[in-house]
Amino acid sequence: MPFNIAGYSIMQSKDRFTAIILALLVWGFAGALFGALFAGLHQILLVLGLTGWLPLIVATAAASMTTTAFYSAMPVALVGSMAGVLASIGYLVVIGQDIDLLMIASLAAGAGVVAGAFYSWMVTGSSRPLAETLTGLISGSLAGGVLSLLLWFLDEPVSVFVLAAGVVALAGVFFEIFEHWLVKLGVAWLPGVVSAPLVAGLIAAVVAGSIWILGNTTTTVLDMRTQEVITHVLNDIPPGLLGGVLGGAITGIMLEIFGFRLEEQIEDQM
């Protein structure tokens, strides 16, 4: 039977188009989460008094680490999310409307560690979730540092939308460049017994922090400083989310075009 060149070309183009659409969706959603987290954390750090390059780097590193945990260690992230929600609800039932951020985050993190340890005991796991999360931390730190340097050279104010798009794009590129060998190194050296508990604890603390923000929006008895934090955070999250979507989508398409196959990464994590 002769080889159908035209049919093969159409199938190849269809597969390529499907891969680009998949990259667009996955990176867009990841960018939305990354951008929203970055915008909220960055504004909180600014209101709390951090200045210079530190808020940008810390917020980018934390957002990158959290987003990586959600997308590269989904089962562990779901365990941490459930633990964070349950611990936060329990805290609200007992304490009521007087929500302390440090207390609720610490309680949720502890619940996440316990839940992650139980998950690790039930399901034979490896150190891959922690290795992926630390790779996200390193990528985010580098992205924040590079963007801080660029802003220092420009010496011009930049909107939250542009900041979010920039950090998402840079962190995504760094993550793709470093992931293979950093994760391989982490899997070989990091202890698997603490992998799931630490990642689940991180996610639980982030979930509790989100609940703290949402809970305080309905509370009228707040000091002025807390009201200021909540207002600034809520104002910055929408442009941060949209900027993250843009940065993630563009990065995903460019990486797919240049040979970083998302479908191959998904197969490796299965």
Q: Which strand (E) or helix (H) includes residue 151?
A: helix 128-154
Q: pLDDT digits over 228-260, tens only? A: 667 777 788 889 999 999 999 888 877 777 766
Distance between CA 25 and CA 248 in Å, rounded?
Answer: 9
Task: Say which residue, 192 or 81, is predicted with more confidence.
Answer: 81
Q: pLDDT digits over 139-154, tens only? A: 999 999 999 999 888 8
Per-residue confidence (pLDDT) for residue 5, from 0 to 100? 47
Per-residue confidence (pLDDT) for residue 109, from 0 to 100? 94
Return the percentage of the chain with pLDDT > 70, whole number: 80
Q: pLDDT digits over 194-235, tens only? A: 899 999 999 999 998 888 776 665 454 455 666 666 777 778
Q: pLDDT digits over 55-98, tens only? A: 999 999 999 999 998 887 888 989 999 999 999 888 888 876 66
Is 256:15 a contact under the CB 8 Å cutoff?
no
Flag the least confident range among 26-40, 103-117, 193-207, 210-224.
210-224
Is 82:189 a contact under the CB 8 Å cutoff?
no
Q: How far apart are the first and last CA of the chain?
A: 36
Per-residue confidence (pLDDT) for residue 164, from 0 to 100? 94
Is 131:199 a contact under the CB 8 Å cutoff?
no
Mean pLDDT, rounded, for 120-136: 85
> How many other C-beta atoms are found inside a 10 Å radius of the C-beta of residue 2?
4
